[in-house]
Structure 1
Amino acid sequence: MTSQRDIFLFVALAVAWGTAFGAVEVGLETLPPILFAALRLDGAVLLFVAAIAALGYEWRPRTRADWVTIIISGGLIVGGHYGLMFLGQSYVSSAVAAIVLSLTPIVTPPLALALLPRERIRAPAVVGLGLGLAGVVMIALSGGSLDGQVVGVALLFGSALVFAIGSVLTERTRGTLPLLPLQTWAMAVGAAMLHTLSFAHPGESAAGLRAALTAETAAALAYLAVVSTAGGFLAYFVLLERVGASELSLVNYASPVIAALVGWALLGETITLTTITGFALIIAGFALCKIGALWRLGAPVVGYGPTRPAAAAARAGDIVVDGNVYVAGTDSYAGQARSAD
């Protein structure tokens, strides 16, 4: 990532996804979490439908693999992930939510090992998984409340786990839909799932929705749909093509920093030294899980090893599981990436 354009897009992406947690925090003040997650997806689906119509993409699923991918993505990567994330953030600050979700790239390799027999996991990744889990436990206990912070962190960890499981399971399918229509279908399925759960949940009701949609809540919904989703994905896919998945995965650890700064400056949130230490353990765990890819990225900078083109870097990253890209530590789904070839 050497050009000014790439650096600008990386910073813009980190800001778009990092500030999303603050927008969620604002909306949760008046909206129940599951309904809020569903409404956030509604806005994103409308934007993506307009983009598909403008670009003339083929949008109809034609094969069984298309439908299987849509169901897995919509049910786990979108519906399950967003539902648990919004529920979890109703207990903890936006910074803590972003930090816990940054664990996703660490828990994905062992899940790939369990669900995809051809995958292998090396000893450093095992140590990295342990460090990451230790960091999450430290963050969970930093609040000192067994019915508050711990519950929220547990829900957010479940969100990261569900997202990782969905990402690995989509590796078993080979759909024909382009990425944007696939993502749109997945978000539509996830939105329908969350609306159904919200309707059935005794603690949630859409009866007072008009009163709950204050100016601040409406602005938060618009921001999530337009900036965090449409703008974020635009920057993400441009960078994925230019710098590859390994280097781009570092955005998962820039976003929590942005979330913490926004929460402190605009929402009056505080972050403890214990939480910072837990985040440091998660970063150390990520480095061990990605030690090979990080070396391939950093070695040419310091004069060791051959330089690698962006496509090769994408092939090397374990964020891409044989063609599938998952965006960890955010509230976003990337779906299937184009082949590194």
Structure 2
Amino acid sequence: MPKPQKGILIILSFFAIYVIWGSTYLLNKIVVTEVAPFLLAAIRFLSAGTLIMIIAKFLKLSLRVTRAQFFNCVIAGFLFLFYGNGIFVWALKYVDSGFAALIVATQPLFVIFLMRIIQGKKIKPKSLIGVALGMLGMYLLMSQDTLNLTRESTIGIVVIFTCVLGISFASIFVSKANLPSHFFVTTGYQMLSAGTLLLLGSLSLGETWTSPIDWSTKAQVAMVLLILFGSIIAFTAFNFLLKEVSTEKVATSAYVNPVIALLLGWYFLDENISQQSIVAGGTLLMGVYFINSKKKLVMFSRFKKNLKI
């Protein structure tokens, strides 16, 4: 692929994981009020995975994979979608969508430190500043007096943190794993495997199954948006980025998503956005800039230069 086209695709992919994924918290919250969480996720990913495979076949992409590639897709699907999304949606029954998005903003921190532990990768000073700003933004968002925690919401928060850890590990795994040659096909196999596991999980838990025909119009529309945009477009963009840019840069979506989630909650659900939330959102976005920026820190460069003299 020519560099200009790839550059445009990278920009569009970042838009997808920043903005579209930021909207999925609201959409999942709408649907989970009417549909059992594992069933919700199973329908979403089985539908999206099937559509992706049909599109891939139409585009004449090879669907053949080796045993190792298929096994890696199953692992990634389990971490990203079964645990990272299915369990996350369950937690949304007890945690507000905007608040859940704020917790996910810790992902870049998990990714950077996991890369240090697993790969021995040094943490750049610029990335440390970005993480520090992200943590400060998280603190400002979560320390507000308007947040009332109950026993159920506390359990939900702990569960969401484990989901973030799983997604962070999966991001590192996928960036190096032997996967199908085309990221679109990779996405399809991950969704079909995760959707199957979620369906089995729904059956084993004895969830009440309801037909989409019986859902409210709002829930039906939200599910369609989750399948087409949240799954097919955004998750495909995510897999593409993991192979094209650094993992910690992809993880910065977790900083932007809470801001989008808060804005959508304010617009559609009449949720109040405090001045502290606005300041926190700006701090989070500044953290994204430091992690994503290719510019070197001038002061640090000068400091290194002086040490060599």
TM-score (norm 2): 0.76
Q: Please list, as runs of the form range in 1=range in 2, the aligned pairs for 1:162-241 lying within 5 A after superposition.
A: 162-171=166-175, 173-202=177-206, 204-206=207-209, 208-209=210-211, 212-232=214-234
Deviation string for 1:18-69 (max 9, x for gaps)?
22222112101201222211111122112211111111112122142x1331
Question: Counterpart of 2:22?
Answer: 18
What SS does the aligned partner of 1:296 have?
Answer: coil
Question: Counterpart of 1:72?
Answer: 75
Distance 1:70 1:47, change over 3 A: same
Bigger mean CA deviation after superposition, 90-99 or 269-278: 269-278
Aligned length: 291
1:121 deviation in Å? 2.8
Please say if residues 73 and 186 of structure 1, whose CA atoms lie closer than 8 Å, have aligned partners that are also in contact: yes
1:195 deviation in Å? 1.4
Please say if residues 31 and 219 of structure 2, whose CA atoms lie closer than 8 Å, have aligned partners that are also in contact: yes
Aligned-residue identity in percent: 21
Equivalent residue for 1:60, pick from 49, 57, 64 = 64
Question: Counterpart of 2:47?
Answer: 43
Equivalent position amino acid for 2:293 in 1? L
Distance 1:37 1:78, change over 3 A: same
Please give the alpha-carbon distance, in whole angstroms, between the structure 2 residues aligned to 1:137 and 1:99: 10
Please give the alpha-carbon distance, in whole angstroms, between the structure 1 residues aligned to 2:121 and 2:242: 23
Deviation string for 1:67-97 (max 9, x for gaps)?
3311220111221111132123222332222
Please say if residues 77 and 194 of structure 2, whose CA atoms lie closer than 8 Å, have aligned partners that are also in contact: yes
1:134 deviation in Å? 6.4
Please give the alpha-carbon distance, in whole angstroms, between the structure 2 residues aligned to 1:113 and 1:13: 24
Please give the alpha-carbon distance, in whole angstroms, between the structure 2 residues aligned to 1:187 and 1:97: 22
Q: Please list, as runs of the form range in 1=range in 2, the aligned pairs for 1:87-236 lying within 5 A after superposition.
A: 87-116=90-119, 118-122=120-124, 132=134, 136=138, 139=141, 142=144, 143-171=147-175, 173-202=177-206, 204-206=207-209, 208-209=210-211, 212-232=214-234
Please say if residues 141 and 276 of structure 2, whose CA atoms lie closer than 8 Å, have aligned partners that are also in contact: yes
Equivalent residue for 1:32, pick from 30, 36, 39 = 36
Please say if residues 253 and 283 of structure 1, whose CA atoms lie closer than 8 Å, have aligned partners that are also in contact: yes
Please give the alpha-carbon distance, in whole angstroms, between the structure 2 residues aligned to 1:72 and 1:242: 21
Distance 1:216 1:297, change over 3 A: farther
Structure 2, gaps ≥5 residues long: 299-309
Equivalent position amino acid for 2:167 in 1? F
Question: Counterpart of 1:294?
Answer: 293
Distance 1:150 1:189, change over 3 A: same
Please give the alpha-carbon distance, in whole angstroms, between the structure 2 residues aligned to 1:111 and 1:239: 19
Deviation string for 1:281-337 (max 9, x for gaps)?
65566566x2xx5242899xxxxxxxxxxxxxxxxxxxxxxxxxxxxxxxxxxxxxx
1:170 deviation in Å? 3.5
TM-score (norm 1): 0.69
Structure 1, gaps ≥5 residues long: 300-341
Bigger mean CA deviation after superposition, 154-163 or 225-234: 225-234
Please say if residues 287 and 294 of structure 1, whose CA atoms lie closer than 8 Å, have aligned partners that are also in contact: yes
Distance 1:146 1:135, change over 3 A: farther
Larger helix percent: 2
Question: Counterpart of 1:306?
Answer: none
Please say if residues 81 and 160 of structure 1, whose CA atoms lie closer than 8 Å, have aligned partners that are also in contact: yes
Equivalent position amino acid for 1:187 in 2? M
Please give the alpha-carbon distance, in whole angstroms, between the structure 1 residues aligned to 2:9 and 2:184: 22
Question: Counterpart of 2:304?
Answer: none
1:107 deviation in Å? 1.0
Bigger mean CA deviation after superposition, 6-15 or 160-169: 6-15
Distance 1:224 1:257, change over 3 A: same
1:205 deviation in Å? 1.8
Equivalent position amino acid for 1:162 in 2? G
